[in-house]
Amino acid sequence: MDWIRVTGMQFYAFHGDSSAEQATGRQYEVDCELGLDLRQAGESDDVADTIDYSHVYALAEQVMRGQRRHLLEALAHEIANHLLNRTSARTVRVRVRKLHPPVDGTIAASEVAVERPVTS
């Protein structure tokens, strides 16, 4: 299995379990890894034989700027589903980080990671 990694995508979005988080928003980072066979792209040197990074960004952005979610788990799951249904990836790994989450203490980020294979 070969991998395409698009990491450090940044979004200001309005997700969270509290109404205050949903009202004021937070900074998020998203990493996506897409597993597939990249031999043809390696031989052809043609973007049509791979997954365009801008498409990965657009799919993640659609979720992050879309319906408000309470949980990072729901965001990661939805991004993974978009990637599996709209690209040629055979498996995906998605990490969603909320930077400086509102907790009673100092935390750089909270993160959820999911891995999903194609089920067909």
Rounded to whole angstroms, the Cα distance separating 59 from 56 reads 5
Going by C-alpha positions, the residue among 108, 23, 9 that lies closest to residue 54 is 9
Q: Give residues with Cβ within 8 angstroms of 99, minimum separation 6.
A: 26, 27, 28, 29, 108, 109
98 is catalytic: yes
Rounded to whole angstroms, the Cα distance separating 33 from 87 reads 12
The active-site residue, picked from 77, 95, 97, 98, is: 98
Residues carrying an active site annotation: 98
